[in-house]
Amino acid sequence: MQAAKCPTDELSLTNCVVASEKDFKSGQHLTIKTTPTQKFVFTVKTHPSVVSGTIAFSLPQRKWAGISLNQDVEVSVYNFDPSRQYVGTMTLEIDFLQKKNVDSNPYDSDKMAIEFIQFFTAQAFSKGQQFAFSYCDKLFALVIKDIEAMDPSILRGEHSSSKKQKIEIGLLHGNSQVIFEKAESSSLNLIGKAKTRGSRQSIINPDWNFERMGIGGLDKEFSDIFRRAFASRVFPPDIVEQMGCKHVKGILLFGPPGCGKTLMARQIGKMLNAREPKVVNGPEVLNKYVGESEANIRKLFADAEEEQKRLGANSGLHIIIFDEIDAICKQRGSMAGSTGVHDTVVNQLLSKIDGVEQLNNILVIGMTNRPDLIDEALLRPGRLEVKMEIGLPDETGRLQILNIHTAKMRQSNMLAKDVDIKELAVDTKNFSGAELEGLVRAAQSTAMNRHIKASTQVEVDTEKARMLQVSRTDFLASLNNDIKPAFGTNQEDYSSYIMNGPPHSGKTALAAKIAEDSQFPFIKICSPDKMIGFSETAKCQAIKKIFEDAYKSQLSCVVVDDIERLLATAMYNIMVGLHTKLTLVFHSTDFVPIGPRFSNLVLQALLVLLKKPPPRGRKLLILGTTSRKDVLQEMGMLDSFSTTIHIPNISEGEHLMEALELLGGFQEEERATIAKQVKGRAMWLGIKKLQMLIEMSLQVSSIHIPYALFHKSYCGGDNRGPPANLQDDVSTGMTE
């Protein structure tokens, strides 16, 4: 082919040779052989003004390759080897192209490198090559000093090896690193990190350390996010294009508050070779004026839209982070009586992510602890398709988080040697990351409080404060008194049931004791006394929330207490259907129906929740208590429990004496007297009633009181009343 002059100044800045569409296609790579021993590799662009059979070169290209106009050159197609010819790092010498345009303004080499990669991606470069580069309306002369090949292990998501391979010819791609070095005797004022050699070769640093960035316990979650959202962005664009692969455009992070969703989203933006992330809280988008909310959404995507139009596939990645995304992306049509603003905001967001003119240079990260409120259309593939639960950290995660928040104290020798971080990680089951940070703060406050002198004024004992150390005692005090996990065990709740069991046989006390001894990190009691005055719908919601909270823990126990009273409204109609026999029992147990009509809501909700398996990897134990097994059988609820255990009342004297010995309150002589009276007698006694009578008996010093109580109440009695030496008012009160 015959060498020609580049047809336009704009094309001369592309570093591409220009040919006719009849000869080659844009984007192909060509070997230009000028002599039997000299050859050069260029990337081609096509232009209609170029005559077939000729190939056009810019002045810097002709100067570097030693090509003159109308010279005959041998041209052939060149194919790159992806395993060893992709550019990992390229070092460029830079100076002003024209000395008359010299200025003293600083030029940021980091921004320059981003612009360079976007403009020259998928082009061939050779060591020693000379070409021009336009940046900030200034022309610069560049010379390639050195090229290192990209480590193939990076493409597999592995750690890079320390060995660097030098190459003569390489193909630039979006994950290459460009380093600018100022030419000797140049007056160029160059600032930024990209003016020095670094080690990063990928969109994500292989040596990335979460703990260094203040994130702990999320290694697995990030690995899954990387696999789904960033793997396609690590590979060179031409390989991705050949596969027909589209980048993931959206991630939804959901989970309990305080588990690191916002923190993780912000650090994802920092660790990527991308623009500075735009972070917006969901409610901030909404505006009272018509059309302003939609305009706010469009502004967030404006930069990405402009850059994609200008640079196409070479555009950089723009990250937009929506915190509390459920505030603006509720189910369309769910806001009855509203102005419809939420619906149009969802529509606008969908059109930007996945509309007719969809953007491919964006990554939208949404965060919420209520994923059930978000419009379903937003969660489909092509939108926020990667859904990742950021849950409560496990023991290893808690250890990482505690190490992060105590690191400065360790470095400053302010953490006492008796503090065992592993012990704290074990003791903080179901603590979120925020609660662990709060625990450390509380321990620090406790330690500092020891050095405050309170006299007429509050002042710090500076001499002792210099030797301040946070000890194990400080952490344990904060753990017991200050910080309680939102999804942990409510010890005060189930301890009250253990202390004062319900009437009859002590079923709830037994269930609560089993739950406590299990040492499960999450224990909750679903009891009707917590739902007094609730409507049927509110009762369903309260029960549902207990189960949903339980699903967030790896290991949970839910005690559903007094089931028949939870189902009070439904119970009334069922018991009426059981006719005379159950109706008599109904009245004898003082059951009071709430509501004149049948309501099946609570029954069906509880049936669904009892049969619903927990999420994968989670375990849930449900303990139910009831005094009406026959009624649960009629409801079809009994089959929801895998095991049914009958807890009887005390029916023998020997059992009564064992209970009295365990419960305490009587001397050995008093227990012996009672044992004689109850020996061989039949009885039917509940634990709570036994506890109540013991407390009442202890208020009277006479030994005859327990005898009277046990004779009448424990042994069945015979309506003869207490012994004659007891006063009528006392005996009547006690026996009743």
Q: How many CA atoms lie within 13 A of 576 on its CB side?
A: 10
Catalytic: 508? Answer: yes
| Cβ-contact 369, 256 below 8 angstroms | yes
Could you tell me which of 6, 58, 65, 4 has the C-alpha nearest to residue 32? 65
Q: Is 533 exposed, middle or buried (0-12, 13-18, 19+ CB in 10 A)?
A: exposed
Is 732 marked active-site? no
CA distances for 377 relative to 233, 285, 374, 388, 611, angstroms: 25, 19, 9, 17, 29
The answer to whether residues 275 and 303 touch, using CB atoms and an 8 Å cutoff, is yes
Exposure string of 412-441, with b = 16+ CB inside 10 Å and e = fewer, is: eeebbeebebeebbeebbbbbbbbbbbbbe
- Look at residue 340 and give its three-state secondary structure: coil
Annotation marks residue 420 as catalytic: no
Structure tokens belonging to residue 110: 């980091």
The H or E element containing residue 145 is strand 138-149
Strand 38-46 vs strand 29-35: parallel, antiparallel, or unpaired? antiparallel
419 vs 470: CA distance, rounded Å: 8
Residue pair 20/51 in contact (Cβ under 8 Å)? The answer is: yes
What does each C-alpha distance from 294 to 221, 286, 304 come to in angstroms? 32, 8, 17
**Sequence-separated (6 or more) residues with CB below 8 Å from residue 33:** 39, 73, 74, 75, 76
Single out the residue of 178, 214, 31 nearest to residue 93, CA to CA: 178
Q: Distances from the Cα of 481 to the Cαs of 449, 472, 475, 516, in angstroms?
A: 15, 14, 10, 19
Task: Report d(CA 707, CA 681) in Å as an integer.
Answer: 14
CB 297 within 8 A of CB 359: no
What type of residue sits at position 627?
S
Q: Which has the closest alpha carbon to 616: 569, 551, 519, 527?
A: 551
Q: Among 241, 30, 60, 34, which residue's Cα sits nearest to residue 124?
A: 30
CB 680 within 8 A of CB 654: no
Catalytic residue from among 43, 262, 508, 625: 508
Name the catalytic one among 45, 507, 524, 539: 507
Catalytic-labelled residue, pool 23, 151, 354, 562: 562
Q: Catalytic annotation on 127?
A: no
Candidates 23, 326, 354, 561; catalytic one: 561
Task: Give catalytic status of residue 138 as yes or no.
Answer: no
- 679 among known catalytic residues: no
Query: For the chain, how big is the Rg over CA atoms in Å?
Result: 38
Catalytic-labelled residue, pool 63, 422, 611, 619: 611
> Are 582 and 631 within 8 A, CB to CB?
yes
Under a CB-based contact definition with an 8 Å cutoff, are residues 255 and 369 in contact? yes
The closest of 83, 238, 208 to 153, measured between CA atoms, is 83
Contact 300, 359 (CB under 8 A): no
Q: How far apart are CA 6 and CA 12, in angstroms?
A: 6
Instruction: Give the number of residues written for the chain.
Output: 736
How many Å is the maximal CA-CA distance in the chain?
136
Between strands 650-652 and 682-685, the pairing is antiparallel
328 touches 357 (CB < 8 A): no
Residue numbers annotated as active site? 507-508, 561-562, 611, 688
